[in-house]
């Protein structure tokens, strides 16, 4: 048995933020081919580009599950860039220390977050591109909702997005 | 907390009768059996009693049993000795699922230039005899096939493998560490030339074992020195350990039939209850023709074995897994890999191994814990449906 801290064991036994988000702004599925661990991550991003909600699932040891749980707690409410800058050592510290052999467990959470943010950005870019082609100006683009500058563009935006993107996107002006 | 020990393939508890047999040699009877004086030389009687007890368990003659420090030493002796017997025979042939004591020793000899052939196993973990046949030639010094696998419990075809070795004039060795005391072994009728065994797997002490070497085979020693064991194995007699091994062998022989029936029945009902109550679980090597009475590896799809072990450990149940996750890499079980088990599934494998002391109640308690552990971890898992 590894010498795990009480905090780590608590996150292993009662992991926070387990599951899926209903309509995530970003989703990722990452795995470590060396150790076989895997992680699915969903994120919701608010208007200020902060992580509003987060949920994960992990296949891995106690260290991997606890690290994933810790990361989700640490990044909730943080701006994306700040969340991405969290280091393994901070996760280990948050968990009250980790056996050095288990430091690698926390790497996967970082990879999952990075991939989920990339997924979020790609989806936003896809929407922005469709709107640009139509000459429509958006003030806010999220994978599930778009705020347009002018309400006159609503019908055109709904049509363009509906034709091109296989996802429900609510379109409003404001 | 009630504890349940289900890792008897790793090591077993010392039987009370064994400890009792050992105690005098750990206290007042500390003389060296090789000494001239009677205080020491009288201890040789205990060594010879133990030799007879081990011989009886194997159907061997007393003079064919040599005491060693355990299974690893016996395996090293067999392989390292055999390749030095005849310069025209330098080859080693083993199976892909051997214990590291054989596998790594054979690989180390291969690096020194001794040709190594590794016979395959099928998806049930059973030896592919055709593959073995193809690797054995008149240049083979020794064929080494384990009696039973430590992870799957699959019993190997010893007699058939010995015949394959003998047809080419090679020696046949078996690492019988997992099998001795669990299933009947008769070295002469099975055609075994050399056999390794370890005391601590059959309720004896750690640090002692034996090697059976068929009479007439001049296996060169690996450990040289004081000429104990007729020069086959030097080193001061571990009298307490040897006496303990002898007693453990005697007890194992007494319990052999009962143990096989009782353990097998317990293991089979344990397997059925787990498969019925834990979604995604299945038995490795379930279709193998012959498995040890008390050893089983179970795969719990979608959950990682170390997480299960950790939760079991917290609740006082001790089992094991073939893989270990540390410093960023996982050494998956070479046994499951050789059987073609998918990497992810092999990371979900747990081994439970019973002993003659294991009870129905202990196993039922374990099933109950596993049921909730599996449910808990499947909720977290990305792979569970």
- Sequence ranges of the domains in chain B: 4-11+256-380, 16-251
Q: Which residue of B has its CA nearest to A14?
A: B376
Nearest CA-CA distance, residue A81 and chain B, Å: 26
Chain A: residue whose CA lies nearest to B347? A36
Residue pLDDT, tens place only, B306-354 = 999 999 999 999 999 976 555 555 678 999 999 999 988 999 999 999 9
Q: Is A18 on the interface with B (CB under 8 A)?
A: yes
CB contact under 8 A, A57 and B310: no
Cβ atoms within 10 A of the Cβ of A132, count? 11
Q: Does A37 sit within 8 Å of B382, measured CB to CB?
A: no
Contact A39, B382 (CB under 8 A): yes
Interface test mutation site (partner A, options B299, B304, B321, max chain A beta carbons within 10 A): B304
State the Cα torsion A5-B4-B100-B289 to the nearest 10°.
-140
The shortest CB-CB distance from B327 to any of A59, A64, A104 is to A104
CA distance B101 to B119: 17
CB contacts, 8 Å: A24 with chain B? none
Yes or no: say if B284 and B336 are a contact pair by the CB < 8 Å rule: yes
B16-251 CATH, one of 1.10.10.10, 3.90.1580.10, 3.40.640.10, 3.20.20.100: 3.40.640.10
Quote the CA–CA distance of B57 and B185 in Å, as a whole number. Answer: 7
Tallying the residues shown for chain B, one arrives at 385
Closest CA in chain A for residue B303: A59
B4-11+256-380: CATH architecture: Alpha-Beta Complex (3.90)
A101–B327 C-beta distance less than 8 A: yes
Contact state of A37 with B325 under an 8 Å Cβ cutoff: yes
Tell me the three state secondary structure of residue A90. Answer: helix
* CB–CB contact A37 B304 (8 Å): yes
What ipTM was predicted for this assembly?
A: 0.89
pTM: 0.93
Give chain B positions within 8 Å (CB) of A34. Answer: 328-330
Helices (H), A25-164: 62-75, 80-84, 88-94, 105-133, 154-164
**pLDDT tens digits for chain A (174 residues)?**
888 999 999 999 999 999 999 999 999 999 876 678 899 999 999 999 999 999 999 999 999 999 999 999 999 999 999 999 999 899 999 999 998 888 888 888 999 999 999 999 999 999 999 999 999 999 999 999 999 999 999 999 999 998 888 888 999 986
Q: What is the pLDDT of residues B71-97, one digit of tens each?
A: 999 999 999 999 999 999 999 999 999
- What is the Cα–Cα distance from B333 to A50, expressed in whole angstroms? 43
* 3-state secondary structure (DSSP) of residue B66: strand
Is residue B332 a contact partner of residue B345, using CB atoms and an 8 Å limit? Answer: no
d(CA B251, CA B204): 10
Q: Is B65 helix (H, G, I), strand (E, B) or coil?
A: strand
């Amino acid at each position: 048995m590894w010498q795990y801290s009480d905090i780590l064991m608590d996150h292993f036994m009662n992991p926070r933020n387990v599951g899926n988000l209903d309509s995530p702004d970003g989703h990722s599925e990452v795995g470590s081919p060396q150790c076989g661990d895997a992680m699915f991550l969903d994120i919701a991003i608010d208007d200020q580009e902060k992580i509003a909600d987060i949920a994960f699932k992990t296949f891995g040891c106690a260290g991997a599950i606890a690290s994933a749980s810790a990361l989700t707690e640490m990044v909730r409410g943080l701006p994306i860039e700040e969340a991405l800058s969290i280091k393994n050592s901070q996760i280990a510290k948050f968990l009250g220390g980790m056996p050095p052999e288990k430091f690698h467990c926390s790497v996967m959470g970082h990879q999952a977050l990075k991939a989920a943010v990339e997924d979020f950005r790609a989806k936003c870019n896809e929407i922005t591109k469709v709107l640009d082609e139509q000459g429509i100006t958006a003030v806010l683009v999220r994978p599930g909702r778009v705020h347009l500058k002018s309400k006159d563009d609503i019908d055109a935006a709904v049509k363009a997005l509906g034709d091109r993107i296989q996802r429900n996107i609510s379109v409003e002006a404001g | 907390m009630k504890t349940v020990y289900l890792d008897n393939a790793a090591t077993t508890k010392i039987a009370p009768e064994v400890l009792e047999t050992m105690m005098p040699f750990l206290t007042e009877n500390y003389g060296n059996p090789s000494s001239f004086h009677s205080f020491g030389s009288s201890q040789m009687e205990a060594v010879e009693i133990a030799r007879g007890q081990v011989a009886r368990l194997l159907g061997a003659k007393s003079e064919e049993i040599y005491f060693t420090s355990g299974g690893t030493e016996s395996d090293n002796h067999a392989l390292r000795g055999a390749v030095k017997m005849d310069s025209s025979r330098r080859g080693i042939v083993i199976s892909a699922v051997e214990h590291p004591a054989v596998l790594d020793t054979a690989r180390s000899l291969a690096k020194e230039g001794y040709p190594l052939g590794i016979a395959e196993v099928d998806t049930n973990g059973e030896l592919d005899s055709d593959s073995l046949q193809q690797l054995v030639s008149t240049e083979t010094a020794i064929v080494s096939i384990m009696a039973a696998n430590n992870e799957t419990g699959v019993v190997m075809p010893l007699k058939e493998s010995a015949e394959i070795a003998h047809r080419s004039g090679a020696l046949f060795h078996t690492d019988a560490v997992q099998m001795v005391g669990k299933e009947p072994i008769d070295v002469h009728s099975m055609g075994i030339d050399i056999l390794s065994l370890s005391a601590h797997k059959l309720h004896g002490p750690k640090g002692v074992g034996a090697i059976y070497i068929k009479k007439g085979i001049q296996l060169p020693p690996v450990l040289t020195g004081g000429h104990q064991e007729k020069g086959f194995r030097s080193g001061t007699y571990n009298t307490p350990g040897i006496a303990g091994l002898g007693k453990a062998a005697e007890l194992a022989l007494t319990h052999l039939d009962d143990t096989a029936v009782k353990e097998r029945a317990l293991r089979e009902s344990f397997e059925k209850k787990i498969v019925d109550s834990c979604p995604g679980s299945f038995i490795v090597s379930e279709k193998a023709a012959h498995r040890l009475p008390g050893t089983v590896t179970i795969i719990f799809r979608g959950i990682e074995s170390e997480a299960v072990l950790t939760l079991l450990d917290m609740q006082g149940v001790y089992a094991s897994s073939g893989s270990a996750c540390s410093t960023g890499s996982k050494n998956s079980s070479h046994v499951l890999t050789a059987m073609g088990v998918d990497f992810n599934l092999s990371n979900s494998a747990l081994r439970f191994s019973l002993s003659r002391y294991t009870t129905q109640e202990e196993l039922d308690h374990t099933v109950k814990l596993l049921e909730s552990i599996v449910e808990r971890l499947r909720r977290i898992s990305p792979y569970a449906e």
